[in-house]
Amino acid sequence: MNTLKAGKKMPEFSGIDQYGNEIRSKDLLGKPLIVFFYPKASTPGCTAQVCDLNNNLAQWKDLGFIVLGISADSVRRQHNFSEKYGLDFPLIADTEKSIINKFGVWGEKKFMGRTYDGIHRTTFLIDEKGKITHVIDKVKTKTHTQQILEIIKKQ
């Protein structure tokens, strides 16, 4: 796994969100971004993470941030996840893992003695010019907003 580091440029990408809209990285420039990768929609950790970010969406908008989630789930699964929890930001369905691989968050994982390949839960903070300013690889799912805010205050 070769995760992108702070100081690197956000790779160019495009993907389809839960409503069938195309999201392109070049269209996101001009505002700071929170781009987070999560393993699987509707699992406990992922639900806690996205709900924490969504519950604080007004705060993110006040700070000028665009929030964008990405997983390898299908558009349908992303849509169901978004509708069930009333999510108000795009969730890209990267079933081909092209964006996931560009950010370098796909790799070997271990859980309960089992080894498998999957998405490493990772959040990238990206400035308005597309430069990665911080990478969070130890995400606190239930308090992710607070975790990000603490980083932003230090920048």
DSSP string, 22-41: EEEHHHHTTS-EEEEE-S-T
**What 3-state class would DSSP assign to 5?**
coil
The answer to whether the CB of 100 falls within 8 A of the CB of 63 is: no
- Beta-carbon neighbour count of residue 43 at 10 Å? 14
User: Which residue shows structure tokens 């968050």?
Assistant: 105
Q: In this structure, which amino acid lies at residue 75?
A: V
* β-bridge partners, 122: 37
What does residue 140 show for φ and ψ, rounded to 5 degrees?
-95, 100
Catalytic positions are 46
- What is the Cα–Cα distance from 50 to 44, expressed in whole angstroms? 10
CA angle 90–56–65, rounded 5-degree value: 55
